[in-house]
């Protein structure tokens, strides 16, 4: 088994960032950390 690649994604609530996050989540080879500014838009996108 290969080691997971660590990824820090900034700006994940934007259009491009959200698409990048979706693409990364389709694979199990990434350990993803997401960082974004706390805005209403970001909170809506990342609510559990």
pLDDT tens, N- to C-terminus, the chain (48 residues): 678 999 999 988 888 988 999 999 999 999 999 888 777 766 676 666
Helix residue spans in 1-48 (DSSP H): 15-25, 40-46
- Residue 39: closest CA among 10, 13, 6: 13
- The pLDDT value recorded for residue 3 is 86
- The pLDDT value recorded for residue 1 is 60
- The pLDDT value recorded for residue 19 is 93
| Structural domain that includes position 15 | 5-46
Task: State the Cα–Cα distance between residues 3 and 15, nearest whole angstrom.
Answer: 29
Q: How many structural domains compose the chain?
A: 1
pTM of the predicted structure, to 2 decimals: 0.73
- The pLDDT value recorded for residue 45 is 67
């Amino acid at each position: 088994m290969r080691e997971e690649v660590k990824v820090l994604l900034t700006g994940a609530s934007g259009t491009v960032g959200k698409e990048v996050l979706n693409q990364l989540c389709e694979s199990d080879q990434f350990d993803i950390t997401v960082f974004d500014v706390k805005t209403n838009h970001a909170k809506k996108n990342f609510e559990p």
